[in-house]
Amino acid sequence: MEHRINASDILPAQLQEINLLLGLDKKTALVDCDGNRTEIPDAIFQLLRTVVAKMKQGESLVLLPENETFTTQAAANFLGVSRQHLVNLLEKGNIPFHKVGSHRRIYFKDLKSYALQRDKERGKALDDLFDEIEKSGKYNADYKGDDS
C-alpha cells in the first residue's frame, strides 16, 4: 500500500467535491457500489476532514501506522538529527529499538514519543531561560528592534 498521497493528484473537478466534504457537519457514511451504507464514527470523519483540508491547501500527506519501522537513517531524518546522533540516542536507551539481523529498527510510535518528550523539554528550557532573563531585568517588552 502506498503511504503517500500527493495533493497534485487531485483533479480540478474533484476540488468541488472536496469543498462539499469540508462543508459537511452531519453524520456521514460510506456507501459502496451496491448501496450498502456504513456510518463513519465522528473521530474518523474529523480525521478525513483534516486530510482533505490539508490536500486542498496543496500539502502532501504520508500515512503511517504506529508500528511502522524506520531504519536509523530514516529515523534520523524524521527527528532532524544526524544518523550518528540517533545511534548514540539508541545506544543510551533514550529511544527503544530492535534489531533485524545486525540492523537497528525503530518503531514510528517510539520516534513520535521521543520527539514529543524532546520538544516538551526544549519548551521548558526556553521558558526557564525567559524567566531568568525577565528576572534579571534585561528583557524589554517595548523594544522594537533596529530596521537600519
Q: Where in the chain are all domains bearing CATH 1.10.1660.10?
A: 69-136
pLDDT band at 1 (very low <50, low <70, confident <90, very high): very low
Distance CA 5, CA 11 (A): 13
Distance CA 4, CA 148 (A): 45
**CATH classification (class only), 69-136:** mainly alpha
Q: What is the pLDDT of residues 76-105, one digit of tens each?
A: 999 999 999 999 999 999 999 999 999 999
What average pLDDT does range 33-39 have in this prediction?
Answer: 90
Distance (Å) of CA 55 to CA 11, 14, 143, 145: 11, 11, 40, 38
Q: To the nearest 10°, the Cα dihedral for 17, 20, 26, 32? A: -10
